[in-house]
Amino acid sequence: MKTTEYLTAIIDELIQTVPQISEEETAQLVTAVLEADKVFVAGAGRSGLAGKAFVMRMMHMGIDAYVVGETVTANLEAGDLLIVGSGSGETSTLVPVAAKAKQLGGVVAAVTINPQSAIGQLADIVVQLPGAVKDQAKSDYSTIQPMGSLFEQTLLLFYDAVILKYMEMHQLDSGKMYGKHANLE
């Protein structure tokens, strides 16, 4: 197969994920972002990278948002929102983060393949995204892509869709957001 044919297959897989995402679950997450004083995002590996991109866009919109584990991350307080992106929902470093957020009175949202996971069970809001977990032998979902790639790509694009919904609700556009873009580059 040519590289461009692989790219077409990846895009086709992504297109197939969209109708499987619940608009109701998504609306709950958007509402939680709107209502939170501060938003924290956690993820490991490539899911963590998608989370960092999400936090960057929230910052561009004026949302007080942080990546869990960074040195400049604020403290989570009651009523703040923690969003955890984890395909399996069992990532060993993220389960205690979700538990601590609950203990502190935070709202926990899980974006995961597996709502029945440890993180899913701790969450107040669960958005289920389609995809295969890293060990595809343990997955009912079929993909040509390795490990958790389909979930991670869907997660990144889903986060961008949440940003667009927030922009629509607050009548923001790229011009308004650009004023908060880094200028020391």
Q: Which residues of 2-39 are buried (b: 16+ CB within 10 A; e: fewer)?
A: eeeeeeeebeebbeebeeebeeebbeebbebbeebebb
- The region that residue 79 occupies, defined by phi over 0 for left and psi between -120 and 50 for alpha, beta otherwise, is left
What is the phi/psi pair of residue 181, to 5°? -70, 150
What is the phi/psi pair of residue 46, to 5°? -65, -30
> What residue ranges in 33-183 does DSSP mark as E strands?
39-43, 65-67, 81-85, 107-112, 125-128
Q: Which residues are catalytic?
A: 152
Output the six-digit token pair for 89. 């929902």
Output the six-digit token pair for 85. 């992106």
- Residue 12: C-alpha distances to residues 9, 40, 89, 150, 183 (Å): 5, 31, 25, 11, 37
